[in-house]
Structure 1
Amino acid sequence: MKGADAEDRALSALLAQGHTLLARNYRIPGGEIDLITRLDGVVVFSEVRQRRSARYGSALESVTPRKLALMQRAALTYLFNVLGRDDLPCRLQVVSIEGTAASGVLSITLIE
């Protein structure tokens, strides 16, 4: 499954940067977050996108405003329901892979 391969590679990259995995594929009705990690006290919510070619746009461009809104809602739900508070330091990011999951260029883009 190609999505799982991209998520595995993204997780490996985050772990190599010092992240600790909290959850994978956290789902709520209408939304999902691929990876939830913690780095230096900050909860990091990551959407993983991979595109073999840029013919239909880049992996980063495939993240729509609607997806970001659903991701934000899922992040708030996770903070409140799992961690018991919604005021913890956190951030959203997109881990994009351009090319194959195994060898494509991996980039991390913070969402403001």
Structure 2
Amino acid sequence: MRAKTDDTTTQRGREAETLAARVLERRGLRVLERNFRIRGGEIDLICRDGSTLVFVEVRLRSRSDFGGAGASITPSKQRRIILAARHYLAGKPECDCRFDCILLDRLDESHLEWIRHAFSADA
């Protein structure tokens, strides 16, 4: 029975990322990659906002028992995202970058919160 729950969670996560990508594109960003993975880290969306590279973490939490979507982006999770971003940037020309978060409490654009500069690689 566990596999069915995991499949549903994975599917809802994909739907959240698709919704986030659509919103970001409508607001002028260009999605370059989805689900960039390395050993030890993953980035949900990599976008370009003008000359800035934007690494986006998408979080969907329908329950707030443990603090909601924003609280789930722990310092440990941030370090894994930063690690993946450093791998992505390796060998590429230097450019400005930032880390944004898209938070959802349901799969509905009206319940989407976009936090620009949510955290820093210097933290």
| Common fold by TM > 0.5 | yes
Give the Cα separation in 2 of the matches to 1:103 and 1:15: 13
| Structure 2 runs not aligned, ≥5 long | 1-10
User: Which of 84, 92, 98 lines up with 1:91 in the alignment?
Assistant: 98
Could you tell me which residue of structure 1 aligns to residue 30 of structure 2? 20
Could you say what secondary structure the match of 1:59 adopts? Answer: helix
Per-residue CA deviation, residues 34-90 of structure 1 (Å, 9 max, x unaligned), is 000001110000000011121221101001101101111111110114xx23x3100
User: Which of 67, 82, 91 lines up with 1:57 in the alignment?
Assistant: 67
* Deviation beyond 6 Å, 4+ runs, structure 1: none
Give the Cα separation in 1 of the matches to 2:69 and 2:23: 17
| Structure 1 runs not aligned, ≥5 long | none
State the number of aligned residues: 108
Structure number having the greater helix percentage: 2
Alignment RMSD, CA only? 1.3
Scaled by the length of structure 1, the TM-score of the pair is 0.89
Could you tell me which residue of structure 1 aligns to residue 78 of structure 2? 68
Give the Cα separation in 2 of the matches to 1:104 and 1:16: 14
Identity over aligned residues, as a percent? 35
Structure number having the greater strand percentage: 1
